[in-house]
Amino acid sequence: MHIVCTDLEGVLVPEIWIHVAEKTGIEELRLTTRDIADYDVLMRKRLGLLDAHGLKLKDITDVIDRMDPLPGAVAFLDWLRARTQVIIVSDTYVEFAKPLMAKLGWPTLFCNSLVIDGAGAIADYRLRQPDGKRHVVLALQSLNFQVIAMGDSYNDISMLQTAQHGLLFRPPDTILAEYPRFKVAYDYTAVRDAMGPLLE
């Protein structure tokens, strides 16, 4: 039996931090896991920028509330969930995800959490576990699932490498050059073509 593990941002919804950068004018917040491989380095940079500019959790969630899934994402997810079980495995945070999950039809989400101080500022972040995406795949494989994994960023690579089938979705050229072994799709039709035969 197959099960699909997919990333969220850049695959089903736009990158949250890029939207925050556009709203606030803080250009450095545009950096994502497509640009910086070390997640802790990236998050420490983000937290420093939020602190320096006095931004709080509500400033971020106000942006997220106005975001929509990528065009075609809901139909694709409906198609996939009609054929197999799907888990979204993301490095986003519980505190960010709710409005996006509602717009995607409440799929299962494994993600991380934030530490919020008394003033409503984001003081820190907590990973569910280090290298959590890979561990999800390993856990599912221990239950005799064949895992199909899809992502677009450096933080997805260990998940894709561990799964029986790994697929890059709209990856940047840098990741494509570093990891040429994976199949690549640039739209949901191509993803259906790649996954469909595996799910028959």
Which pLDDT tens digit goes with each residue over 163-177? 999 999 999 999 999
Examine residue 100 and state whether it is found in any structural domain, yes or no. Answer: yes
Examine residue 135 and state whether it is found in any structural domain, yes or no. Answer: yes
Residues that constitute the known binding site:
7, 9, 15, 46, 90-91, 133, 152, 155
Residues that constitute the known binding site for Mg(2+):
7, 9, 152
Does position 37 have pLDDT exceeding 90, yes or no?
no
Return the pLDDT at 36. 85
Examine residue 142 and state whether it is found in any structural domain, yes or no. Answer: yes
Angstrom distance (rounded) from CA 46 to CA 42: 6
The residues carrying an active-site annotation are 7, 9
Q: What is the mean pLDDT of the chain?
A: 95
| Number of structural domains the chain divides into | 1
Residue 130: how many other CB atoms lie within 10 Å: 9
Examine residue 149 and state whether it is found in any structural domain, yes or no. Answer: yes
Examine residue 89 and state whether it is found in any structural domain, yes or no. Answer: yes
Residues that constitute the known binding site for substrate:
15, 46, 90-91, 133, 155
Examine residue 187 and state whether it is found in any structural domain, yes or no. Answer: yes
For the chain, percent of residues with pLDDT exceeding 70: 100
Confidence of residue 33 (pLDDT cuts 50, 70, 90): confident
Structure tokens at 156: 């997805």
Range 31-56 average pLDDT: 91
For the chain, percent of residues with pLDDT exceeding 90: 94
Q: Closest Cα partner for 8 from 66, 79, 87, 123?
A: 87
**Whole-prediction pTM:** 0.91
Range 138-156 average pLDDT: 96
Which pLDDT tens digit goes with each residue over 71-82? 999 999 999 999
Examine residue 21 and state whether it is found in any structural domain, yes or no. Answer: no
Find the domain containing 147 and state its range: 2-16+67-199
Range 110-119 average pLDDT: 96
> What's the CATH code of the domain at 132?
3.40.50.1000
